A = this chain, B = another copy of it.
Amino acid sequence: MWQYRAPLRDLRYVIEELLELPAQWAALPAFAELDAATARQVLDEAARFATEVIAPLNASGDLEGCRWHDGAVTTPNGFPAAYRAFVAGGWPALSADPAEGGQGLPQVLDAALYEMLVGANHAWTMYPGLLHGACECLRAHASPALKAAYLDKLVSGEWLSTMCLTEAQAGSDLGLITTRAEPQADGSVRLRGTKIFISGGEHDLSDNIVHLVLARLPDAPAGSKGLTLFLCPKFLPDGARNAVRCDGIEKKMGIKASATCVLGFDGAVAWPVGEANRGLAAMFVMMNSARLHVALQGLGHAHAAHDNALRYAAERVQSRAPVRPEAARGPADPIVAHPAMRMVLLRQRVLVEGARVLTIEAAHRLDLAAHAPESAARAQAEDELSLLTPVLKAFLTGQGFTIANDALQLHGGHGYVHDYGIEQCVRDSRIAMIYEGTNEIQAIDLVLRKLVADGGVRFAALLGTLAAALPAQGRLADEVRTRLAQLRAAAAELVEAAPADAELPYRAADAFLDATGWLLVAHAWARAQALSSQPRHADDPWHAAKRASARHCADHLLPEFDHALARVRAAWQALASIEPNPTP
């Protein structure tokens, strides 16, 4: 049966051994006093919370779902109490500034916490999932009065928050938003309109809910340049109920315990956050960390699915393997001995552990961008994050779903029934490919807004950074070096050809993002291979497994990069139009 086991050993390996982050923290004034032991302790406690408090609510939450009645939402049994424990433990404020009541710990530890929360219970984690983004947004753009009234309560998690962007006709294209904001004499506005797909738009976890709403002021320009961001609380400062109402919740494929709400604003009181018509920019402040959070959802599911699949494969006995285990007796072997299953499991392990390196490294770049003493280092981290974020969001959520789906397949018929938990993992993981910008939007962000927009300068710089970080020797390092050059060439060709063929970068975008994703994973394993090949690790089973995974990456995952690059090349061919058949 499904069970969540936190990847504590691997997190320690990535943070301490592979990336040697404690030494890097020592060089950042904000974390100068953090040592490896303290970080370990935080991770241990986070693992305990994920494993003991919210993982037990994962399957039951899926079966119960949320209930809507006359504007109120009841979350599944145990959800509110778990959230109270989360707040009491100080988890929402883990990486917040001590001046705001936070613990001032690195984003790295917050990323590790978040991977574990999502792996243990994605639906529950949706509720506090937007707190960080809301806080960042308010810090950067809200008036002192709004900050004073709302920031502390959100930092501590006492109140929860939402992002109200989507409307029925405006999903990927926020320019089509029509919710109106009517200015009042006191500087507030009244909001009128209907938002859909609002995660945590209503629930019973916190006393108040702070909605951040994109809407249009009178005479605002059309499109996305006419949107302003507003803060609209469920309860007004005087305790009165605001005119925002939950008109229903969606029946969804997964994350059923997360209330996805239709919110009607019927003259709701709200206050602007940031400048008029600059609402999109205010929202985008938090995009890198929000999208990294979604990438972590992919990883969280991938880890949980792989760990459960591996445990099942070791226990489930079916048919004799072509090469039987040494101790084999009896009519059949554990399916972990069957080559087709090992192929799946090794691929999963390479991706899960490779992804963990990438997400921890990205979170460390968030820390550098915020806290590096030199401005050049901060700028470099920002530039790299702007390229890495869409790749990690799309690639890791796609792989998270694929890994969950392959884990289901490994379970056979048992995978298709609810009892084993793995089909829920497939359903829950699926949403991460869609929200916070669909994976296709991420690819367009990477190739159009990041690569083509600056003539490929930042992307080439990132590949340079990656090449410089490669070990001088080692099979995988050599293979990755060759492919970094191939990707650099493909990027340059795209940039060069784009002006004459406006569709080309759009046709190539998904494949280009995939190629980058595969190469990043291989790059992580090239470094792991070098570390685990040191003579001092020769007899350590942990490092022997890492060496085997690195070999598997070279044998079986590099062809995925080669294929993605072939798809980039194929994108040079013009693409036909396609008309709906009047009669299929």
Contact = CB atoms under 8 A, between A and B. Distances in A.
Interface stretch (A147-155, A280-288, A424-432, A464-472): A424-432
A15 to B, nearest CB: 15
Given A172-B319, A584-B303, A506 B340 contact: yes
Given A345-B578, A444-B340, A575-B346, A331 B412 contact: no
Contact of A427 (B169, B427, B439, B581): B427
Interface string A71-86: 0000000000000000
A503 B340 CA distance: 10
A431 B555 CA distance: 30
Interface stretch (A34-42, A485-493, A545-553): A545-553
A108 B419 CA distance: 39
A346 B173 CA distance: 23
A27 interface: no
Given A555-B570, A575-B343, A576-B551, A252 B418 contact: yes
A361 interface: no
Interface in A275-319: 303, 307, 310-311, 313-314, 317-319
A553 to B, nearest CB: 11
Contact of A559 (B331, B566, B581): B566
Given A253-B416, A503-B322, A5 B584 contact: yes
Contacts of A415: 434
A579 to B, nearest CB: 7
A88 interface: no
Contacts of A250: 417-418
A338 interface: yes
A560 to B, nearest CB: 8
Contacts of A563: 559, 562-563, 566
A566 B562 contact: yes
A439 B409 contact: yes
Interface residues of A, number: 102
A175 interface: yes
Interface string A433-450: 111001110011000000
Interface stretch (A6-14, A91-99, A227-235, A384-392): A6-14
A423 B196 CA distance: 18
B166 A413 contact: yes
A534 interface: no
A556 interface: yes
A159 interface: no
A251 B418 contact: yes
Contacts of A573: 555-556
B581 A336 contact: no
Contacts of A423: 252-253
Interface in A478-520: 502-503, 506-507, 509-510
A507 to B, nearest CB: 5
A440 B340 contact: yes
Contacts of A559: 563, 566-567, 570
B252 A416 contact: yes
Contacts of A5: 583-584
A349 interface: yes
Contact of A323 (B10, B313, B332, B502): B502
Contact of A584 (B222, B307, B419, B580): B307
Contact of A310 (B341, B412, B413, B578): B578
A6 B581 CA distance: 11
Contact of A253 (B345, B427, B509, B566): B427
Interface string A392-431: 0000000000000100110011111111000100110011
A197 interface: yes
Given A10-B584, A253-B427, A323-B502, 5 more contacts: A171-B412, A323-B503, A339-B503, A346-B575, A409-B434
10 contacts: A171-B318, A175-B332, A251-B417, A251-B418, A251-B419, A252-B423, A253-B416, A307-B584, A323-B503, A345-B578
